[in-house]
Amino acid sequence: MIKLEPRGERSATMAYLSPVLAALLTMLTGLILFTLLGIDPVEALITILYVPISDTHGITELCVKTTPILLCAIGLSVVFKAKIWNIGAEGQLLMGGLFGSYIALQLIETEGFWVLPAVLISGVVGGMFWSGIAAILKVRFNTNEILTTIMMNYIALNILLWAVHGPLKDPEGFNFPESALFGDSALLPVLIEGTRVNFGMALALLAVVAVWVLMSRSFYGFQIKVMGMDAGAARLSGFKDKRLICFALLLSGGLAGLAGVGEVTGPIGQLIPQISPGYGYAAIIVAFLGRLHPVGILLASLLMALLYMGGEMAQISLGLPLALTGLFQGMLLFYLLACDVLITFRIRLKPGKVISRSPVPPLASETQG
């Protein structure tokens, strides 16, 4: 019988090496998988992990892919520190893109320095509005935020599809489900000429610094961490847990909304049904892979963005399905969780108990005979 026993003390070194080990195990499993498929495993890994960033254009595209993942993940790190399980970053991203697109379309012919800030703020408000619903349900009715945020992802997606097929569809767009192109005043400025790297990357890095300051240098961040470690102790200390829950969820939703509006005002330039290929879900893996630390999340976001680009490259070069990206993400999460379990617990093999049975007493007829 296999039994897990708690270790005396969790190794801090192994806790930080666990993501590295999970990444190595993911690559090893990938080698085995490609071999079974009859594909040169070394060539496949090179195609996925090196070819996408083998030139300057690839590195700039890596920055573009990293931006929304980083914004969602750094926001999720705050709620996860508080042991609030917001699984709805994807829906909050979509609502941020939708809110921002609506304002951008209303101001499509307006020029002025204030147009872009208004669009970005509306996107943040959209994400906060969507996460605020989950916050109200949790603090008022003690509703499980995992269920509400997951279900709200699908609601947000259907609202987006309704909007882009209905009121926000470009009347001159030949019936394609997309909005009109935004005006120049509503677009994020390009940071590197000739590339798609835009001001959204600077906003993402600024968010990383701001969250680091919040969580490590502010009393509010200290309260959030205490609530995550022991909610009862936080209440006894006078911390207002409901206010902290609302703050953490609103901050997380706002940053996810900023990621969404950054996509529609940056590399996309209009509202389309495919704002995100799953950045909000990938950000959950990134947050844990980065150990909820801003620097770790930044590095994990780069890795996750590389997997997205590598999946597209493998589809083009090797004819592999695009679902390969999701497969690698799933393996990465699986190995990360497995490593964490083995850091905290040790496996013990114990022999099963032998159940002895008492002899059946003879029947009365047998004894008489």
The pLDDT averaged over each successive group of 10 residues in the chain (369 residues) is 77 84 94 92 94 95 97 97 96 98 95 96 98 97 96 97 95 91 96 94 97 95 94 89 96 98 96 94 96 95 96 91 89 92 83 58 55
Phi, psi of 201 (to 5 degrees): -65, -40
- What local confidence, expressed as pLDDT, does residue 237 receive? 86
Neighbours of 361 (CB within 10 A): 8
**Pair 102, 168: CB distance under 8 Å:** yes
Cα 65–chain centre separation: 13
- What local confidence, expressed as pLDDT, does residue 366 receive? 53
Question: Which of 14, 64, 7, 18 is CA-nearest to residue 266?
Answer: 64
- What local confidence, expressed as pLDDT, does residue 348 receive? 82
Cα Rg of the chain (Å, integer): 25
What is the torsional sign of CA 268, 273, 274, 276? positive
Alpha-carbon distance of 312 to 29, in angstroms, equals 19
The whole-model pTM stands at 0.92
- What local confidence, expressed as pLDDT, does residue 15 receive? 81
Question: Which of 168, 137, 140, 167 is CA-nearest to residue 152?
Answer: 137
212 burial level (CB within 10 Å; 0-12, 13-18, 19+):
middle
Alpha-carbon distance of 130 to 152, in angstroms, equals 8
Side-chain half-sphere exposure of 198, counting CA atoms within 13 A? 20
Neighbours of 289 (CB within 10 A): 25
DSSP3 helix / strand / coil % (the chain, rounded to 5): 70, 5, 30
Token pair recorded at residue 90: 């994807």
